[in-house]
Chains A and B, each alone.
Chain A
Amino acid sequence: MTRPAPLYIVTSPRPRMGKTLLARLLVEFFRHSRRPVVGFDLNPRDPAFAGRFPRLVWPVDIANTRGQMELFDRLIAETTSTKVVDLGYGPFEQFFAVMREIGFVQEARRRGIDPIVFFVTDQSMATVRSFGELQRRLAATLVPVHNESVSLLFSKEDFPLTRPECGMIHIPRLSAIVRGVVDRPNFSFNAYMTKQPGGPTEVHKWIAELYAEFRDFELRLLMGRLSASLGGASTPATTRGRAR
């Protein structure tokens, strides 16, 4: 039997942390792997994620019940596509409050869907507190993401791993000029990867590293599940040594 596709929630309680960039990378990674993917952009004022993938990503406003139904009912009902949610700092609190109130994680788990929260970290007290609170109150897998472009340092004591076998995600720093390239409105990571006229550039290496990071994460997740189903301890293995 095929396991239902996972659900990735990319979030941070603060603005300009690289959430949409990570959500875009995930969508393109799943498309690159030829897996069906859909996305939800929870930034109603500036749906940049939906703007990038108008046929794959829907903008949703969860401030009202109708929007909440549009999002959560669809996340639960369809299990063949991997889902990527870009959760901005605006609806951050409400999203997790609704999630808890309606028992979303429990229902998702009952249906075999594994909700994974990619939490983009930084050094602020509010972010550290927010991570700890989510970890205490949410039964989902919470994965810290260290985006070097927004925060040079990462303290693993501040962001303890929910599932050590899953490790964390590391986004290497991109120079400002190169960052301008990937931010271009029509830029596609997959399209860029197919064109290497003068050999691999910084962007090629950066994308390749991140795709490898995602593959690694999926492997660690799978190994953790296998290990759990065999009744063993969590697997510390990581193919690229990223489980910090």
Chain B
Amino acid sequence: MAKPTVVVVGADKGGVGKTTVARTLLDYFTAHHVPTRAFDTESPKGTLKRFHPDISEIVDATSVPDQMRIFDTLSSTDASVTVLDVRAGLLSPTLRSLRDIGFLDAVKKGQLTFVVFHILGSSIASLNEIEDTSSFLGDSKYFLVKNFINNTSFFEWDQATHASYFRKFKDAIEITIPKLNEMAYEQVELASVPFLTFVANKGLKGESANYSFVLRGYVRHWLGNVWAEYDRVKLNEIVASGGVASSGPRVQVVSRS
């Protein structure tokens, strides 16, 4: 069996699209048949839970009982991947807690795989966050995500500044999440279903839905591009812990309506 993988999605800044990225990851693992569970730290009301209720739990990442629910069960759960959607401002404290409970030591010993998706904002402050965060991440896979989905323009980053920051973190890999058509994004929000379910024209319980073909097409195309980024960084291989890489399924419209 593959060793357990913990994927942390976070940022210290709010509104940069952490939950959206977490949702694309859950869809990616679902499509690759990787048993996955998720924890939504937006306690008490979780956005991730709204889209993936069957595999998500809402937790308070700062409370010890909830930390036990997440980390003490890594070996016993059927899920080989645990996705943790960390609330704004809690990325650094969460990583500190992981260090304190010995989680990072277990990663160092090769008992666990640890992946961090650090969602960046457009400001220089966001680049400073990388410095704070990266000090915890010696043996993890560290992805810096430029998320354009909510129309972020990384205008504050000139090439020289950007390069000077990124040079410091040689092991960090950059991922770009492209922009999704606003109306398509809004309709998925209203439907409250995973992106993949929206593309397949289904409701949350698998019933037939009546979403616009155009909007489904936009989501399918966008999700395909996002997954291409995950394939590029070999995410599937990382969670399979060095297993044989499988060529994952592409996003397909499978509606029958």
A binding-site residues for B, Cβ under 8 Å: 65-66, 68-69, 72-73, 76-77, 98, 101-104, 106-107
Contacts and interface: CB of A to CB of B under 8 A. Distances in A.
A106 B253 CA distance: 10
A73 B217 CA distance: 11
10 contacts: A65-B184, A65-B215, A69-B183, A77-B213, A102-B214, A103-B217, A103-B220, A103-B221, A103-B253, A107-B217
Nearest to A74: B213
Given A65-B182, A66-B183, A101 B221 contact: yes
- Nearest 6 pairs between A and B by C-beta? A102-B217, A65-B183, A69-B214, A72-B214, A69-B212, A101-B221
Interface of B: 181-184, 212-218, 220-221, 253
Contacts of A69: 183, 212, 214-215
A72 B213 CA distance: 7
Given A76-B213, A102-B218, A65 B253 contact: no
A241 B155 CA distance: 61
A103 B221 CA distance: 8
A104 B220 CA distance: 12
A111 B216 CA distance: 16
Contacts of A106: 253
A73 B212 contact: yes
A65 B214 contact: yes
Most interface-central of B215, B217, B218, B253 (chain A CB within 10 A): B217
Determine the main DSSP class of A at the interface with B. Answer: helix
A102 B213 contact: yes
Contacts of B216: 102
Nearest to B224: A103
A72 B253 CA distance: 15
Contact of A65 (B181, B220, B221): B181
Nearest to A68: B214
B212 A101 contact: no
Given A73-B212, A102-B217, 13 more contacts: A65-B183, A65-B184, A72-B214, A72-B217, A76-B213, A77-B213, A101-B217, A103-B217, A103-B220, A103-B253, A104-B217, A107-B217, A107-B253
A140 to B, nearest CB: 15
Contacts of B217: 72, 101-104, 107
Contacts of A72: 213-214, 217
B206 to A, nearest CB: 20
B200 to A, nearest CB: 13
B213 A73 contact: yes
Contacts of A66: 183
B75 to A, nearest CB: 42
Contacts of A68: 214
A243 to B, nearest CB: 34
A107 B181 contact: no
A76 B201 CA distance: 14
Contacts of B253: 103, 106-107
B82 to A, nearest CB: 33
Query: Which of B212, B218, B220, B253 lies at the interface centre, i.e. has the most chain A CB atoms within 10 A of its CB?
Result: B212
A77 B201 CA distance: 14
Contacts of A76: 213
A176 to B, nearest CB: 42
Contacts of A101: 217-218, 221
A215 B158 CA distance: 61
Contacts of A107: 213, 217, 253
A66 B214 CA distance: 9
Nearest to A98: B214
Contacts of B218: 65, 101-102
A77 B218 CA distance: 17
B220 A73 contact: no
A21 to B, nearest CB: 29
A101 B214 CA distance: 9
A224 to B, nearest CB: 26
A37 to B, nearest CB: 21
A101 B253 CA distance: 12
B216 to A, nearest CB: 8
A66 B184 CA distance: 10
Contacts of B212: 69, 73
A104 B253 CA distance: 11
A162 to B, nearest CB: 23
A107 B182 CA distance: 22
